Amino acid sequence: MSHDTWQRGVVPSEVAPTSEVHEFLTVEEGAALLRVNRKTLYEAIRLGQVPGVVRVGKALRIRRAALVGSSMGQGGPALKETHP
């Protein structure tokens, strides 16, 4: 690969990231992303505190964009804290 190709924005395959970013996450993946316990995230979902939740059969999926952009991903108050 020539130096010119690299400067035009073409990234060689050996340098390009190989992990895929999925639009929907499992509860386990969402909990890991937020760095909370899986049970904590299930409770927040039950209380309606998590946006972008979709039920697929018996499984729950969470839209990544909604989770990352929500107050849950912003270091907000804990589940049991009350607001003055």
pLDDT digits (tens, 9 = 90+) for 12-66: 444 445 467 789 999 999 999 999 999 999 999 999 999 999 999 999 999 999 8
Tell if the pTM clears 0.85, that is, is over it: no
pLDDT value, residue 67? 83
Angle at CA 55, nearest 5°, toward 49 and 60? 70
Which pLDDT band holds residue 5 (cuts at 50, 70, 90)?
Answer: very low
Q: Which CATH architecture has domain 20-74?
A: Alpha-Beta Complex (3.90)
* Residue 28, C-beta contacts closer than 8 angstroms, at least 6 positions apart: 38
- Exposure string of 4-13, with b = 16+ CB inside 10 Å and e = fewer, is eeeeeeeeee
The yes-or-no verdict on residue 80 having pLDDT over 90 is no
Burial of 22 from C-beta contacts in 10 A (0-12 / 13-18 / 19+):
exposed
Amino acid symbol at 72:
M
